Amino acid sequence: MVKVEHPEGDPWRMFAQFLPGESKAYQGLNRGKRSLVLALQKPEAQAVVHRLIPEIDVVVINYRPDVPAKLGIDYVTLRAIREDLIHVDNTAFGRQGPLAQSPGYDIIAQAISGLMVREGKFDPESGTPKGSLTPISDYGTGLAIAWGVCAALYHRERTGEGQMVESMLLQTALAFQGDVVFDPPASGRGEVPEDGTGPSAPGVGRELPRAVDRTRPTSPQQNGEHLPPGLQHAGRCDRDRRALGDAGGQGADRAGHGLPGGL
């Protein structure tokens, strides 16, 4: 595995560094990788990557959707060099939608998806939700990428075809919550219970901290205006009807209706 790094260094090198340009976080994420220092904004650096591609099976990119083409490392460009290349394109919010061109980190994906408030951890003074100390969206997306690459390599072994594999932090954060993202009132029905508990409340079954205004929604699931448009009415699940049964035999409204592609 070869990590291409800008001459200024990966930002994780500066996180709690114990030596100049060295940190345990960086070492933990990059142990065992070979290193290649390139400023990909320069044509000569892009040419180095292009010379390596015929010997490379998988390329993993972690940029906004508009960046790879500017650096000459997008799927179309690299596929022209090696037709059966596996090209992984990871983004924060996907390649379509109002947030597509926005940068994003694990903590942002936790907040927008509602995963942060579902942890049930709040600042005792302000009531502000606290994210998981483990970057669950980052690590989960890494696992999803590994599975996607294995599937793509198996497909190539059987067919000789390469392909582009897409992943995103937001998708991972939503997937980890299962059907919770369809809970009311995101579905358009139901209110936050007076006692601050119930399926719509943070950390199911827990009370909200006193600093939180119980009369207002407290998470992206409970306040659609904080979600991308495609997620504001995600699912439209009618849990009351599903619980009671539907005389017409159709059950709840189609779960997943209104979700962005891939979700």
Peptide bond preceding 185 in cis form (omega within 30 of 0): yes
Tell me: pLDDT of 136 over 70: yes
3-state SS, residue 17: strand
Strand duo 86-91 + 22-23: pairing: unpaired
Tell me: pLDDT of 260 over 60: no
User: Under a CB-based contact definition with an 8 Å cutoff, are residues 181 and 259 in contact?
Assistant: no
Tell me: pLDDT of 87 over 60: yes
The domain spans of the chain are 57-174, 178-263
Tell me: pLDDT of 67 over 60: yes
Task: Select the more confidently predicted residue: 40 or 196.
Answer: 40
CATH of domain 57-174: 3.40.50.10540
Catalytic positions: 138
Q: What is the mean pLDDT of the chain?
A: 76
pTM of this prediction? 0.68
Tell me: pLDDT of 143 over 50: yes
**Residue for token pair 């599975």:** 147
Strand duo 22-23 + 17-19: pairing: antiparallel
3-state SS, residue 143: helix
Q: Worst-scoring range by mean pLDDT, 45-59, 103-117, 165-179, 245-259?
A: 245-259
Take residue 143 and report the two structure tokens written for it. Answer: 């696992």
Helices (H), ranges, the chain: 24-30, 43-52, 67-71, 75-79, 106-113, 115-118, 136-159, 169-175, 229-232, 239-244
pLDDT in the model for residue 184 = 59
Take residue 193 and report the two structure tokens written for it. Answer: 């219970």
Give backbone dihedrals phi and psi of 77, rounded to 5 degrees, phi first.
-65, -45
List pLDDT tens digits, range 22-59: 899 899 889 999 999 999 999 999 999 999 999 999 99
Take residue 211 and report the two structure tokens written for it. Answer: 């600093």
Tell me: pLDDT of 88 over 80: yes
List pLDDT tens digits, range 167-195: 999 999 999 988 777 765 544 444 544 55
